[in-house]
A and B are shown apart, each in its own frame.
Chain A
Amino acid sequence: MTSLPQATNKKLGLVIDLDTCVGCHACATNCKEWNTGGHMAPLTDQNPYGKKPDGVWFNRVHSFEVKRGKTNPGLTVNFPRSCLHCENAACVTVCPTGASYKRAEDGIVLVNTDKCIGCKLCSWACPYGAREFDEDEGVMKKCTLCIDRIYNKTLEPEDRQPACVLTCPAGARHFGDLSDPDSNVSKLVAERAGRPLMPELGYKPTNSYLPPRARRVEAANIGAEKQLEAVSPRKGFLSWIDNTLSR
C-alpha cells in the first residue's frame, strides 16, 4: 500500500558529517559492491568499460566549492547523496502500483521490484535524486539502508551497519535511530546542529547532515616567530661570502 504509515516505531537513518567527509567515494563504491548482491540486486551497468559508462548507484558523492562572502573563508564541501528515508515520502504516495512503500516498523523506504511497472514517477517525486532507474530490468531501484546488513544475524553485531557507514575511512557516516533522542545519531544532530536537505519542500527527511565546523581565519599560535629573519653566518667561509655580497 502506497499510503504512508501514520507513524513509524523507529526512524532509522544516516547522519553524514560534511565537516569530515573527504570525498573519497569509498561509501559509494562499497554501497555498489554490497548492493549489487543484496536486496535490490543486481545494480546493472550499461557500457561499463566503454567511453560513457552508466549504471545504477544508490550513493553519489559530489564536491562543491562554497564561496561565503569576503570575510568568511571559502569551503570545499564533499557531499554524499543517498536516500534520506523521508517521513513525508512523496516518492511512495505517487506510486500507482504499491511497489514503493515505507515500513511502519523502522521507516525504511523500499521498492518491491516484482510489482514495479517502471513508470518512473517516484523518481520525479524525489527532490534529492535518490532513485535510479535500472534500464536492464525496467524497474526502479534505491538505497535500502542496507536492510540486508542491519538485521543480518549471520554478521557479527558490529558489522550490522550499512556498508557505506562501515567503509567510510573518515568516520563521516553514522547510522542509528533518529526517533530516539538518546541514540548516538540524535546526539550528534543535537550537538552539531544537523540539518535536513531542502526542508522547504516538506518531505521531512530522516537523514541529517552535519554542517562544516567554523573555520579559523587566523593562524594558530604555536610559539614560533611571526616572521622569520634571514640568518647571517658570523664566521668562516659563508660569513666571508655574506660580507662580500652584502657590500
Chain B
Amino acid sequence: MHPAFSVILFTTSSGAGYGLLALMGIFGAAGILPQDRWFGLSGLFIALGLVTIGLLSSTFHLGHPERAWRAISQWRSSWLSREGVLAIVTFIPAGLLGIGWVFLETTTGFWGVMGIVGALLAMLTVIATAMIYRSLKTIHQWANCWTLPGYLTLSIMTGALLLSALLMIFDEHARAVHGMVIFAVVLAWIVKYVYWRFIATSKSLATPSSAIAVDGAEITPLDPPHNSANYLMKEMGFIVARKHADKLRFISYATLFAMPLALSLMAYLSSGAMGTISAVVAVISAIVGVAVERWLFFAEAKHTVNLYYGATSV
C-alpha cells in the first residue's frame, strides 16, 4: 500500500497525543501527578495539540475535505466513522479535565472521573483507528490479531515517554510513571517483534488461482490491461524492496525501542539536567521510530489486487 504522508503523520501524532491524554487522565485521577496548573496546561496542550494536528492532517488527503463532517454519520458500520465520532467526543471530558486542572488545580473527584472517562475514550479512539486496518480482509498484513495491540502499545508507549519527559522538565519525580515507561517500551517491542515475525512467516489465503477462478500451477500475466500505471497500481501496488525493509526495520528497532529504553533507564536512574535531556531525547527518538514503523506498516502491506498484476502471493 502507498504510504501517504498525511496518514503517517496522523496516526503517529494522534497516537502519541491520545496516549498522553489517557495517562494524564488516569495518573491525574490517581493523584500521582502534580496538581499544578502549569503542569496540567502544558500536558493537556501537548496532548490535544498532537491530536488536533493529527486529525487535521488526516483530512488533507481527502478528495473533498470540505465534506469531512459527513464522515461521522455511519458509525453503525464503519470504523472510520466510529473513529471520527470518538475523536470528537473525547474532547469533552478532556476539556473538563483541563478546567479542573488549570483553573481549580485539582484532578480528583469529579475532575478525576472526567480524567478516567477521557482516558477510556482516548484508548477507544486508538482502537477504532487500528480497527480500520485490522478489519480489511484484503490485506493480510493488517487483518491479523497483532495490528490492534501494535497500535495500542505504541500509543501508550509514546504517551508515557512524553509524560515522563514533561515530569522531568517540571522537576517532578513520579517514579510510578518513569517505571511504567520502561514497561511500556518493552511491551511494545515484544508486540512489534511478534507482528514482524508473523507477517514474515504467513500470507493471505488468496492466490492467483482463486483470484481468476482458474486452477493452475503457475499463473503469469501475459498482456497487461493498460500500458501505464493506473490508480490501483499507484495506490495498492507500492512495493518496498526487501533489503530496504530490513534496513528500515533495523532503524525502527533502534530508534523506537532500543534508544528510548536505554534513555528512559538513564532518566529513571539519574536526575537533574541529565535525566531531563535523556527523557526528551527518548521522546524525539521514539517519534521518529513510530513514523518509520508506520511507513513500513503501509509499505509492507500487500493488497489482494496485486494478484492481478503479477504477485504470486500476498
Instruction: Give the B-binding residues of A (Cβ under 8 A).
Output: 1-4, 18, 23, 25, 28, 51-57, 60-69, 75-77, 79, 81, 90, 92-99, 115-121, 123-129, 132-135, 137-140, 195-203, 209, 211-212
Contacts and interface: CB of A to CB of B under 8 A. Distances in A.
Interface stretch (B213-221, B256-264, B270-278): B213-221
A123 B221 CA distance: 22
Contacts of A77: 212, 214
B230 A132 contact: yes
Given A99-B70, A117-B62, 16 more contacts: A1-B77, A57-B226, A64-B208, A67-B216, A79-B212, A90-B137, A94-B77, A96-B72, A97-B71, A117-B65, A119-B63, A124-B136, A126-B305, A127-B138, A132-B232, A211-B213
B162 to A, nearest CB: 29
Contact of A118 (B64, B235, B305): B64
B213 A18 contact: yes
B219 A81 contact: no
A209 B213 contact: yes
A75 B128 CA distance: 45
A137 B231 CA distance: 14
Contacts of A119: 61-63, 71, 80
Interface in B121-151: 132, 135-139
Interface in B172-228: 205-206, 208, 210-226, 228
B308 interface: yes
A72 to B, nearest CB: 9
Contacts of B255: none
A79 B135 CA distance: 28
B118 to A, nearest CB: 23
Given A66-B214, A202-B137, A127 B304 contact: yes
B142 to A, nearest CB: 9
Chain A interface, DSSP helix/strand/loop, else mixed? loop
B81 interface: yes
Q: Report which residue of A66, A118, A197 has the largest number of chain B beta carbons within 10 angstroms of its beta carbon.
A: A66
Given A1-B74, A119-B62, A68 B226 contact: no
A90 B134 CA distance: 13
Contacts of B222: 63-65, 76
Interface in B32-84: 61-65, 67-68, 70-74, 76-81, 84
A11 to B, nearest CB: 18
A170 B226 CA distance: 21
Contacts of B71: 96-97, 117, 119
Nearest to A92: B77
Given A139-B63, A202-B137, A209-B213, A94 B303 contact: no
A195 B79 CA distance: 31
B21 interface: no
A14 to B, nearest CB: 13
A94 B79 contact: yes
Contacts of A196: 213
B269 interface: no
Contacts of B132: 94, 121
A135 B68 CA distance: 17
Contacts of A121: 80, 132
B67 A128 contact: no
27 contacts: A1-B74, A3-B76, A18-B214, A23-B223, A25-B225, A60-B225, A62-B212, A65-B221, A66-B216, A67-B216, A67-B220, A68-B215, A75-B214, A81-B308, A94-B136, A97-B71, A98-B70, A117-B71, A119-B63, A124-B138, A124-B139, A124-B303, A127-B137, A138-B64, A195-B213, A198-B206, A198-B211
Contacts of B70: 96-99, 115, 117
B1 interface: yes
A123 B138 CA distance: 10
A86 to B, nearest CB: 12
B229 interface: yes
Interface in B91-139: 132, 135-139
B236 interface: yes
A133 B63 contact: yes
B308 A96 contact: no
Nearest to B4: A120
Nearest to A128: B305
Contacts of B228: 51-54
